[in-house]
Structure 1
Amino acid sequence: MLEERGRIVAIESDAVWVETIQRSACNGCEAKSGCGTGLLGDFFSSSTRVRAVLNGYPADKISLNDTAVIGITESALTSSTLLVYLLPLVSLVLVALLGDYFFAEAGAVIGALMGLLGGALGVRWYSRRQAANPTFTPVLLRIEPSSGHS
């Protein structure tokens, strides 16, 4: 199970909304303070709100601004990552090859663009079909209470 920490910004009867901060991989590096890449990563970091299912955790034990630890299975992340990266790439190459075969260089360029767009639309279609699939839904693993929580 892959874990991420975030701040609870909303509470529903069956889920919580968690705001996470996206950081660069440089956060764990010892040279971060003297590195331009680390400074740029901090500058461009952004927050994302994620809905996490309570997973049996009682909603009345949760307060706003508590730190939530949410998780998703490794297999869900791996399969999603492969789909998001490989489907557009493979469709780009295949349709470009077809375009090149039938229409020479101009066909390859147009085919590559059409393949990339088709692959992106395929990813979007698949993600919408899987939106209700619990395998791809983050779950609340535990709560780390905020300092003012009793």
Structure 2
Amino acid sequence: MLEERGRIVAIESDAVWVETIQRSACNGCEAKSGCGTGLLGDFFSSSTRVRAVLNGYPANKISLNDTAVIGINENALTSSTLLVYLVPLISLLLLALLGDYLFAEAGAVIGALAGLLGGALGVRWYSRLQSANPTYTPVLLRVEPESERS
């Protein structure tokens, strides 16, 4: 299970909304303060709100601004990543080759654009089909009350 920490910003009867901060991969690096990449990563970091299912955790024991640890299955993340990156790329290459075979260079360019767009729309369609699949839903693993963080 891959875990992420965030701050609880809303509580529902069956889920919580958690605000997470997206940071660059070099946040744990010792040379962060003297590195341009680390500084740029901090500058461009942004927050994202994620709905996480309570997973049996009692909603009455959760308060706003508590630190929540949410998780998602590694296999779900890996398969989703492969789908998002490979389907548009493969469709781009296949339609570019088909366009080149049928209509030379202009066909390759048009085929590549059509393949990229078609692959992206295919991924979007598939993700909407999977939106109710609990495998791809983040779950609340544990809550650290605000008073314990100090």
TM-score higher than 0.5 here?
yes
Query: By how many angstroms is 1:148 displaced?
Result: 7.9
* Alignment-derived partner of residue 70 in structure 1: 70
* Aligned 1:11-90 pairs, distance under 5 A: 11-90=11-90
**1-structure distance, mates of 2:13, 2:70:** 17
Query: By how many angstroms is 1:147 displaced?
Result: 2.0
Query: By how many angstroms is 1:29 displaced?
Result: 1.1
**2-structure distance, mates of 1:122, 1:70:** 28
Q: Which runs of 5+ in 1 are unaligned?
A: none
Once the two structures are superposed, residues 16-64 of structure 1 have per-residue CA deviations (whole angstroms, 9 ceiling, x without a partner) of 0000000010101111110000000000000000000000000000000
**1-structure distance, mates of 2:141, 2:38:** 29
Once the two structures are superposed, residues 81-115 of structure 1 have per-residue CA deviations (whole angstroms, 9 ceiling, x without a partner) of 00000000000000000000000000000000000
**2-structure distance, mates of 1:110, 1:119:** 14
Q: TM-score, normalization: structure 2?
A: 0.98
Q: How many pairs are equivalent? A: 149
Q: Which runs of 5+ in 2 are unaligned?
A: none
Q: TM-score, normalization: structure 1?
A: 0.98
| Runs of 4 or more above 4 Å deviation | none
Q: Percent identity?
A: 89
**2-structure distance, mates of 1:120, 1:108:** 18
**1-structure distance, mates of 2:126, 2:28:** 34
**2-structure distance, mates of 1:148, 1:139:** 22
| Secondary structure at 2:140 match in 1 | strand
**1-structure distance, mates of 2:28, 2:86:** 28
**2-structure distance, mates of 1:25, 1:148:** 27
* Alignment-derived partner of residue 145 in structure 1: 145
| Secondary structure at 1:97 match in 2 | helix
Query: By how many angstroms is 1:10 displaced?
Result: 0.2
Task: Supply the AA of the counterpart residue of 2:137.
Answer: T
Task: Supply the AA of the counterpart residue of 2:132.
Answer: A
**2-structure distance, mates of 1:85, 1:121:** 13
